[in-house]
Amino acid sequence: MLPRTPAFSRIWNLSPATLEELRREFDNAVGSVSGAVARSCSTHPPVSIWDNECRLVVELDVPGVQQSDLKVSVKDRVLTVSGKRRPSEHGGEPKNSDGRFSEFCRSIKLHESLDTTSIQAELHNGVLILSIPRRVESQPQTIPVAIRPRSTNELPEVSTD
């Protein structure tokens, strides 16, 4: 069921020419907004982060970026990935470009339990994979459990070394 507000009723009573003009104005407004969103999004590549007991794995989607155009750095526990997407050299004039070819930068604050001196980076099929191990002291440890026989009620001796 359609709403019965005065404004909505007026839209249905507009002439086809007025509706077409309204559609063009809306497309222009939405087009300019979506263009701004696309430009801002291209400066921050999508990122996925996985965390487990041994390491943190960060994946950034950087399709079309060459290894020589990537820079990975860590300063004050902030991981920064920056780079540049370069246009293909097909010759001729480009007919459509969504602004994919620009510089980008992505920064992630790292937890103090991570070993920032042992980060490994690999570029595979347009995905930059960063593996950041946990410090040894922050990894879980297995504690052995002693079994006491049921026949004795004595507690095991505790060493005071």
Q: Cα separation of 126 and 116, whole Å? A: 23
3 state SS of 77? coil
Beta carbons within 8 Å of 45's beta carbon, 6+ residues apart: 60, 61, 62, 81, 104, 106
* Residue 74: burial class (beta carbons within 10 Å; 0-12, 13-18, 19+): middle
pTM: 0.57
Sheet containing 78-84: which strands, arranged edge to edge?
70-75, 78-84, 103-109
pLDDT at 119 over 70: yes
CA 120 remoteness from chain centre: 18
- Give the H or E element holding residue 47: strand 47-51
Residue 144 is classified by DSSP as P
pLDDT tens column, 84-116 = 888 777 777 766 666 566 788 888 899 888 999
pLDDT tens column, 123-153 = 999 999 999 999 887 667 788 888 877 765 6
3 state SS of 73? strand
pLDDT tens column, 4-31 = 555 555 555 666 677 677 766 766 665 5
pLDDT tens column, 58-87 = 999 998 889 999 999 999 999 999 998 887
Beta carbons within 8 Å of 17's beta carbon, 6+ residues apart: none
Q: Cα separation of 74 and 13, whole Å? A: 61
pLDDT value at residue 127: 95
Architecture in CATH for domain 45-87+101-138:
Sandwich (2.60)
3 state SS of 95? coil
Q: What are the structural domain ranges in the chain?
A: 8-41, 45-87+101-138
Bridge partners, residue 70, by sequence: 83
pLDDT value at residue 32: 43
Percentage of residues of the chain with pLDDT beyond 70: 63
